[in-house]
Amino acid sequence: VALIVLLIIIIYIVLIFVCHGFTLPSCR
More confident residue, 22 or 28: 22
DSSP letter for 10, please: H
Whether the pLDDT of residue 10 is over 60: the answer is yes
pLDDT for position 13: 85
Q: Tell me the average pLDDT across 4-27.
A: 78
The number of C-alpha atoms within 13 Å of 12 and in the hemisphere containing its C-beta is: 6
Per-chain mean pLDDT for the chain: 78
